[in-house]
């Protein structure tokens, strides 16, 4: 069973890779950005609350985000593993996720960070702005989201690195190649930390 985090700056291809990796591993992909966008589109209370932060490229407050993730992870399809895309992004969210997992006696298998140089990220996001027209893909907001990533989320990754479960993966190049690299890195972390499922003749079928 895999419980993993896919981290990476905006524009690193997290969303694309998240669904591909989750499919390959047979687990559910949970994207906080997608859940927020869905709520904004449907004008729910949560959406109304999140929208102003999202439009400005700011983080939605931890309290709101943590509650939403706790609710999502308590659903039955997350019982057999999950891939979190875009969460946690702050130290407070790391603590909240630790508490959620502790409650159910679960542990994270791996944390993968997609690495892409800033200049390529900005170019990718401006191109996405033309195609998808996302409200938070303007040049100014893009820069702010990148700054936030460097300022807050990189230290989140550091805190997981201290636990020995982080793999940093080159996020440039062909989509298929990146997927392969991520899968390989999850396997390597799990082999190194001894969390690979034990294959016995009974379970091999």
Burial of 111 (0-12, 13-18, 19+ CB in 10 A): buried
Residue of minimal CB distance from ligand AMP? Answer: 33
Q: Which one is catalytic: 3, 20, 124, 145? A: 145
Q: Closest approach of Cβ 199 to ligand AMP, in Å?
A: 35
Active site residue 24: no
Q: Closest approach of Cβ 141 to ligand AMP, in Å?
A: 8
Q: Which three-class secondary structure string do you get for the chain?
A: CCEEEEECCCCCCHHHHHHHHHHHHCCEEEEHHHHHHHHHHCCCHHHHHHHHHHHHCCCCCHHHHHHHHHHHHCCHHHCCCEEEECCCCCHHHHHHHHHHHHHCCCCCCEEEEEECCHHHHHHHHHHHHHHHCCCCCCHHHHHHHHHHHHHHHHHHHHHHHCCCCEEEEECCCCHHHHHHHHHHHHHHHHHHHCCCCCCCCCCCC
Active site residue 124: no
Q: Which of 175, 142, 108 is nearest to 9 (CA)?
A: 142
Q: Which one is catalytic: 3, 20, 72, 89? A: 89
Active site residue 145: yes
Using the minimum distance from each CB to ligand AMP, give the nearer residue, 42 or 200. 42
Active site residue 134: yes
Active site residue 89: yes
Q: Closest approach of Cβ 92 to ligand AMP, in Å?
A: 9
Q: Which one is catalytic: 3, 14, 72, 124? A: 14
Q: Closest approach of Cβ 100 to ligand AMP, in Å?
A: 13
Using the minimum distance from each CB to ligand AMP, give the nearer residue, 68 or 190. 68
In the complex, the residues that contact ligand AMP under the rule CB under 6 A are 10, 32-33, 36, 53-54, 57-60, 65, 86-87, 89, 93, 136, 145
Using the minimum distance from each CB to ligand AMP, give the nearer residue, 10 or 13. 10
Q: Which one is catalytic: 24, 51, 134, 168? A: 134
Q: Which of 13, 163, 18 is nearest to 2 (CA)?
A: 18
Q: Closest approach of Cβ 205 to ligand AMP, in Å?
A: 39
Using the minimum distance from each CB to ligand AMP, give the nearer residue, 35 or 165. 35
Active site members:
14, 89, 128, 134, 145
């Amino acid at each position: 069973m895999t419980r993993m985090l896919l981290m990476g700056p905006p524009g690193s291809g997290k969303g694309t890779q998240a669904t591909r990796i989750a499919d390959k591993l047979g687990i559910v992909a949970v994207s906080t950005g997608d859940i927020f966008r869905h709520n904004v589109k449907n004008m729910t209370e949560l959406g109304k609350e999140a929208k102003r932060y999202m439009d400005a490229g700011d983080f939605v407050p931890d309290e709101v985000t943590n509650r939403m993730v706790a609710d999502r992870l308590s659903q039955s399809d997350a019982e057999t593993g999950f891939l979190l895309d875009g969460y946690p992004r702050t130290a407070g969210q790391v603590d909240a996720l630790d508490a959620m997992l502790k409650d159910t006696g679960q542990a994270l298998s791996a944390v993968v960070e997609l690495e892409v140089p800033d200049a390529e990220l900005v170019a990718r996001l401006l191109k996405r702005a033309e195609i998808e027209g996302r409200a938070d893909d303007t040049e100014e907001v893009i820069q702010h989201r990148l700054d936030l990533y460097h300022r807050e989320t990189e230290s989140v990754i550091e805190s997981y690195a201290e636990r020995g479960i982080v793999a940093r993966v080159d996020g440039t190049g062909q989509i298929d190649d990146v997927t392969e690299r991520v899968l390989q890195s999850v396997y390597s972390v799990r082999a190194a930390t001894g969390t690979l499922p034990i294959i016995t003749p009974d379970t091999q079928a």
